[in-house]
Structure formats: structure tokens, C-alpha cells
Amino acid sequence: MIDSVTRIASLLFLVFVCMVVNPPLRTEEANFFLIRYLPGENWNHTISYQDQSGLVNHHAYLLKMHIKDQIVMVGG
């Protein structure tokens, strides 16, 4: 299992790589924020991730922002 320090370091490295590979992001002085997803108050622990209420709408919202270059998505 990957510990949290390794996971954060990996995410920061990926953000750095995105900035190097995509120079326009650097010239526009983009701000980057690291977001960690955690179960919220509406999370139902009795059902799987794919069956959570509102998940389809949430993914559609993230995809719209990604297409407009408003967010950079990485995983770890």
C-alpha cells in the first residue's frame, strides 16, 4: 500500500511534469491546487463507488472543466 507522503509526492511530480510538457500553462501563471477526495456526508458506505448518488453528474462537471482547460487532472 502506498503511504500518503508517497502519494502526495507523486501527485506533485505529475503536476510539475504537466507544467514542463505544456509551456502555455507556465506563461499564463496558472495556479495549481492539490485536491484530495474523501467521502463526504452524502457518501453511502453500503454501496460501491460506481453506484454512489450524483456520481455521473459529478464526472460530467469535471469533464466540462477539463475540456475548457480549467482543471488539470492527475492520479496517484
What are the pLDDT digits (tens) for 10-34? 666 666 666 555 555 555 676 777 7
**Measured between alpha carbons, how far is residue 49 from residues 9, 18, 23, 28, 45 in Å?**
25, 28, 35, 36, 9
For the chain, domain boundaries? 4-67
pLDDT of residue 40: 85
- What predicted TM-score, i.e. pTM, was given to this entire model? 0.50
pLDDT of residue 62: 87
